[in-house]
Amino acid sequence: MEKSRLTGIMQHAKIPLAVALILIFGFAIFKISAKDVKAETEFDKMKEAASHCTQPSATDPECMESFKKLQSSHRDAQRTAQEKVGIVGSYPSNDFDPIEYLSTWNYNHLPANERSKYYRETKRADGSLLREYWIYAEDKEIEIAPGVFFPAWTYNGQVPAPTIRATEGDRIRIHFENKGTKPHTMHFHGFHPSSMDGSMPEDFVYPGQNFTYEFDADPFGVHLFHCHSVPLKQHISKGLYGAYIVDPKNDTRPKPNKELVMVMNAFDTNLDGENEVYAVNTKAFYYTLNPIKVKKDELIRIYLINIVEFDPINSFHLHATFFDEYGTGTNQKPHTYTDIISLAQGERSILDVRFKYPGMYMFHAHVSEFTELGWMGFFEVAD
Ligand SMILES: [Cu+2]
């Protein structure tokens, strides 16, 4: 009797405890789920704005509000990027413009009369082109970081050299003159007879001398050319290299809205056999100070080359999106879909990129040391 009454009391006492526990846990679960729903809703609003509010009008206040929020995230891009990552200085000299270099090949940035001094094309009987280039080697001081100058050896006074671009089957003819102080050559990756290889001592073009390189453009892909004089590491690291792009004759790839040439390079400023400055297209942090402007959803094709001497490997990592990679550009089907690739010296690749959302997106070497010494930039993605 006593026992049963006691059990009854205990059972009676358990009821409020269970209720209290349910209330406590229920409230916590409610708080957590309410928070998640709120955050998700805000993200959904941003996504909605990104996909529909490309042309905000005063008649759609909600769209205007969302659009304003998005715009503020990439307004005044240069200042924002620079301040966020703490880059000091700017580039006062205008000797070489890495933004212009990105989409320049066959001297297409020059007016016709100026261009014809360096590049001419002539139609051949089979419909292909004879593409002639005038290229000279020259010693020249170039700016590689704000206020930091490097005694470079250059092709046509710039590093990287002017980009050479042809279609598979075209004929390339290069009138090369050495105006520098050391023997130099032009060694192309691609098919050619040994006499056009520019790599042996008998191929060296001495100061004041000329040589004409001639070969057919193949295979299609993203290749490079560089000096092959000795000591080779010195002739490359001093700046004698450039991009050589061969487009497929029958191109079945998606058509890009924008094409960008990116040469990952570095400079040994104190000649100790190690690099002190790293970059894409020569000027450290240039694309952080001057982000590359692209548009949401458009197809951006990057021709990426690694020519960094002294370090065995380099990488390219892009934030907030993935890209199709065509290794060496020699196949028209991408072989992988990723957000980072690693390239040893002389390796190259084509990357097809699209950004889903407007904003500022970093790209950099995943070798952090290189990033901190200049190998970093931004894409500014607009609606
Ligand atoms: Cu050389």
User: For 312, which DSSP code?
Assistant: S
Task: State the Cα–Cα distance between residues 80 and 129, nearest whole angstrom.
Answer: 45
Looking at the chain, list the stretches that DSSP marks H as alpha helix, in order from N- to C-terminal side: 2-52, 61-73, 77-85, 98-102, 112-115, 232-237, 286-289, 368-372
Q: Is the pLDDT of residue 227 over 80?
A: yes
Task: Give 305-342 pLDDT, tens digit per residue.
Answer: 999 999 999 999 999 999 999 999 999 999 999 999 99
Spacing, Cα 229 to ligand 1 middle (Å):
5
Q: Is the pLDDT of residue 108 over 80?
A: yes
DSSP 46-91: HHHHHHHTTS--TT-HHHHHHHHHHHHHTTTHHHHHHHHHT-----
Contact 277, 148 (CB under 8 A): yes
Spacing, Cα 179 to ligand 1 middle (Å):
11
Dihedrals φ, ψ of 242, to 5°? -165, 175
Nearest to 160 by CA among 244, 260, 243, 97: 243
Count of CB atoms within 10 A of residue 328's CB?
16
Q: What is the amino acid identity at position 369?
A: E
pLDDT of residue 117: 97
Helices (H), strands (E): how many in the chain? Answer: 8, 20
Pairing between strand 277-280 and 221-226? unpaired
Spacing, Cα 106 to ligand 1 middle (Å):
22
| Ligand 1 ion local residues (Cβ < 5 A) | 184, 227, 229, 235, 240
Kindly list the domain boundaries of the chain, sorted by start residue: 80-382
Q: Is the pLDDT of residue 2 over 60?
A: no
Task: Give 59-95 pLDDT, tens digit per residue.
Answer: 666 666 665 665 555 456 666 777 777 787 888 777 8
Spacing, Cα 308 to ligand 1 middle (Å):
16
**CATH number assigned to the domain covering 80-382:** 2.60.40.420
pLDDT of residue 84: 72
Task: State the Cα–Cα distance between residues 185 and 113, nearest whole angstrom.
Answer: 28
Spacing, Cα 200 to ligand 1 middle (Å):
12
Spacing, Cα 315 to ligand 1 middle (Å):
26
Task: Give 268-283 pLDDT, tens digit per residue.
Answer: 999 999 999 999 999 9
Give the pTM: 0.83
Q: What is the amino acid identity at position 64?
A: M
Q: What is the amino acid identity at position 116?
A: S
Spacing, Cα 235 to ligand 1 middle (Å):
4
Spacing, Cα 372 to ligand 1 middle (Å):
29
Spacing, Cα 204 to ligand 1 middle (Å):
8
Task: State the Cα–Cα distance between residues 81 and 291, nearest whole angstrom.
Answer: 8
Mean pLDDT of 253-259: 98
Dihedrals φ, ψ of 162, to 5°? -55, 140
Mean pLDDT of 102-118: 97
Task: State the Cα–Cα distance between residues 176 and 97, nearest whole angstrom.
Answer: 24
Pairing between strand 376-382 and 292-295? parallel
pLDDT of residue 85: 77
Spacing, Cα 240 to ligand 1 middle (Å):
6
Confidence of residue 7 (pLDDT cuts 50, 70, 90): very low
pLDDT of residue 87: 80
Q: Is the pLDDT of residue 119 over 90?
A: yes
